[in-house]
Amino acid sequence: MIWDLQVRAIKDSQRDEPDFGPLRQWLIDGTEPAEGVLFLANRATKYYWVNRDIFRWDREIIWRENPKTTSRQLLVSTPLREEILYLNHDVPMSGHQGMERTAKRIKAKYYWHGMTHDIEAYVKACPQCSQWKRPTRRARWEMFTVPRWDTHGTRSP
């Protein structure tokens, strides 16, 4: 029963996502959007449309066929992205694994346009990760005062 609620939430979320509109319609019945619709659309909508051949419609859910592997990735709508990030980074089982491991874990099952940027921003904003992360640059030398010399070659205080 819980799984049915989650599937229903995914279907509803994908249906209500404006970025998926032209792609979803094309996957359902082959209808191509008017040129003006795509012209005025945002980058994500244009990206999904241009790459429409790698998306599939299965049981009323949009999936992406990963070109690098034979696996499928769920196309995640905007309202569910924060939850996906939380579940794959903050939950104790995930263990705050950092940018690379979190990205690898999410990319194995999910997809959305700009996900790498979103994952990076989420991990950088994580208070626990930033608390324990080592600096990426070395500290500069400690500042010290240089003795001053006057025009006669004597040292000034």
Task: Summarize pLDDT for 4-30 with one digit per residue, the tens.
Answer: 669 999 999 999 999 999 999 999 999
- The average confidence (pLDDT) of the chain is 87
Measured CA angle at 48 (ends 12, 113), to 5 deg? 80
Q: Which of 3-17, 108-122, 124-138 has the lowest mean pLDDT?
A: 124-138
Q: Region 71-90: what's the mean pLDDT?
A: 92
Average pLDDT over residues 137-152: 70
Q: Would you say 48 and 42 are in contact if contact means Cβ atoms under 8 Å apart?
A: no
* Residue 115, pLDDT above cutoff 70: yes
Which residues does 96 contact at the CB level (< 8 Å), separation at least 6?
A: 89, 90, 126, 128, 129
Judge whether residue 2 has pLDDT over 50.
no
Greater model confidence, 55 or 92: 55
Res. 67: pLDDT tops 70:
yes
Q: How many CB atoms lie within 10 A of CB 112?
A: 23
Compute the distance between CA of residue 10 and CA of residue 152 in angstroms, rounded to an integer: 81
Alpha-carbon torsion, ordered 74, 78, 84, 85, to 10 deg: 130
Write b or e for each residue in 63-93: b if 16 or more Cβ atoms lie within 10 A of its Cβ, otherwise e: bbeeeeeeebbbbbbeebbeebbeebbeeee
* pLDDT, greater one: 4 or 108: 108
Question: Terminus-to-terminus CA distance in the chain, angstroms?
Answer: 81
> pLDDT at position 11, please?
96
Other residues' Cβ atoms within 10 Å of the Cβ of residue 4: 8
Of the chain, the percentage scoring pLDDT greater than 90 comes to: 61
Can you tell me the mean pLDDT for 112-123? 95
Q: Which residues contact 35 (CB under 8 A, 6 or more apart)?
A: none
pLDDT for 53 beyond 80: yes
